[in-house]
Amino acid sequence: MNSFKRLVATAALPLSLLLSGCGEQAPQNKAVYLLIDTSGTYTQELNKAQAILNYLLANLDSGDSIAVARIDSGSFSEKDIIAKTTFDMRPSTANDQKRQFKLAMDEFAANLKKGSANTDITGGVLQATQYLNETGAGNKYVFIFSDLEEDLPHDHIRNFPISLDNIHVVALNVTKLRSDNIDPRDYLNRLASWQHRVVEGGGDWRVINDLERMDKLIVAN
Sequential pLDDT tens for the chain (221 residues): 554 344 334 344 444 444 444 556 778 899 999 999 988 778 888 999 999 999 999 999 999 999 999 998 888 888 999 999 999 999 999 999 999 999 999 999 999 888 888 899 999 999 999 999 999 999 999 999 999 999 988 888 888 889 999 999 999 999 998 899 899 999 999 999 999 999 999 999 999 999 888 887 886 54
Strand order in the sheet with 65-71: 81-86, 65-71, 30-37, 139-145, 167-172, 204-208
**Which of 209, 34, 172 has the alpha carbon at shortest distance from 105?**
34
Please state, rounded to an integer, the average pLDDT across all residues of the chain: 87
**The pLDDT value given to residue 60:** 96
**The pLDDT value given to residue 22:** 52
Burial label for 206, CB within 10 Å (0-12, 13-18, 19+), is middle
